[in-house]
Amino acid sequence: MRDGLQNEEKVVPFDIKVKWIEKLIEAEVDILQIGSFVHPKRMPQMADTDKLFEYFAGKAGETILSSLVLNSKGYERALACGCDMICFGVSASETHSQKNTGKSTEDALNMIIESAKLAINDGKKVQCSIQSAFGCGFEGKIDEVKVINIAKKYIDNGIKNISLADTAGHAYPEQVTRLIGAIKKYYSDTAITVHFHNTYGLGITNCYYAIEAGAEYIETAFAGLGGCPFTKVAAGNVCTEDLIYSLNRENEIISIDNSKIIEVTKEAEKFFDKTLEGYIYKTK
């Protein structure tokens, strides 16, 4: 709901968001990111994030509701409306970091770590991401040592849930294996999340390699929606229902009701009045 919708110009009304979130909760996904605490003028699609968290307080069952937070003001809002899990992020790309937050990677990292430690002390579930971890639309290749050092700094400050985000969609399988392996070697108990965009068609393949390398969580978006507005080519995420269908060919994740997610995708297709990126919804 967050990365999936943030790049769509047509703003989804609150009541429709509620309906879609309810179906995704019924599908029993583990974690659902329902918004980000950013300035509404900068990203109108996320203007009702506080209201959504207040509405769903105590209504999500076993599904953890998360949000993206980019600064201390966003953290205060997340805390005030009872957000279950707070996701922070810093970009390994200096260019993307400036476009996304107006800060250098180092300044953003120090600020994020300070806020993340506060959230941990406040009893919140915390995830910290490394955006542009596999490459940047503006800068191209990103030094893998820089990515690993950011991860080490997170770990050294008590942050043990780390997301490697392929913001520009540049990831490829061997690189995925290498980066996850390097972080796991440094601290084997680190929970690795991966977040792939399908810019060059390698999204689901990268998911498989990430799972084999030890990633615990895969972030996706229904219908393959999404894309960072502050990168050069804003391509969609790995499609949730396509990945679940693929994994379920070997009965890997039988607990998620994919039919509910497909329902949301079909409703989104009607709402946005365009063919969406997913495949499976077109066959069901």
Q: What percent of the chain has pLDDT over 70?
A: 97
Distance (Å, whole) CA 172 – CA 224: 18
Provide long-range contacts, Cβ within 8 A and 24+ apart, for 16-19.
16/267, 16/271, 17/48, 17/52, 18/52, 18/55, 18/56, 19/267
Distance (Å, whole) CA 53 – CA 43: 17
Bridge partners of residue 122, in order along the sequence: none
**Local structure of 241: helix, strand or coil:** helix
pLDDT higher than 70, residue 228? no
Express each pLDDT in 145-161 by its tens digit.
999 999 999 999 999 99
Q: Give 232's pLDDT tier (boundaries 50, 70, 90).
A: very low
Catalytic entry in 128, 136, 228, 239: 228
Give the domain 69-257 fold: TIM Barrel (3.20.20)
Give the pLDDT score at 117.
Answer: 93
Give the pLDDT score at 229.
Answer: 54
Cβ contact 92:146 at 8 Å: yes
Q: Give 242's pLDDT tier (boundaries 50, 70, 90).
A: very high
Phi, psi (rounded to 5 degrees) for 101: -125, -10
- H/E stretch holding 165 reads strand 161-166
Mark whether 228 is an active-site residue. yes
Torsion on CA atoms 55, 59, 63, 68, rounded to nearest 10: 10
Average pLDDT over residues 231-251: 84
Q: Give 39's pLDDT tier (boundaries 50, 70, 90).
A: confident
Beta sheet of 125-131, edge-to-edge order: 31-36, 64-69, 85-91, 125-131, 161-166, 191-196, 217-219
Q: Are strands 64-69 and 191-196 parallel, antiparallel or unpaired?
A: unpaired
Express each pLDDT in 184-210 by its tens digit.
998 899 999 999 999 899 999 999 999
Complete DSSP assignment for 114-134: HHHHHHHHTT-EEEEEEETTT
Give the least confident one: 24-28, 173-177, 222-226.
Answer: 222-226
The pLDDT mean for the chain works out to: 92
Structural domain boundaries in the chain: 69-257
Residue pointed to by tokens 């780390």: 162
Express each pLDDT in 8-22 by its tens digit.
989 999 999 999 999
Higher pLDDT, 228 or 64: 64
Cβ contact 127:66 at 8 Å: yes
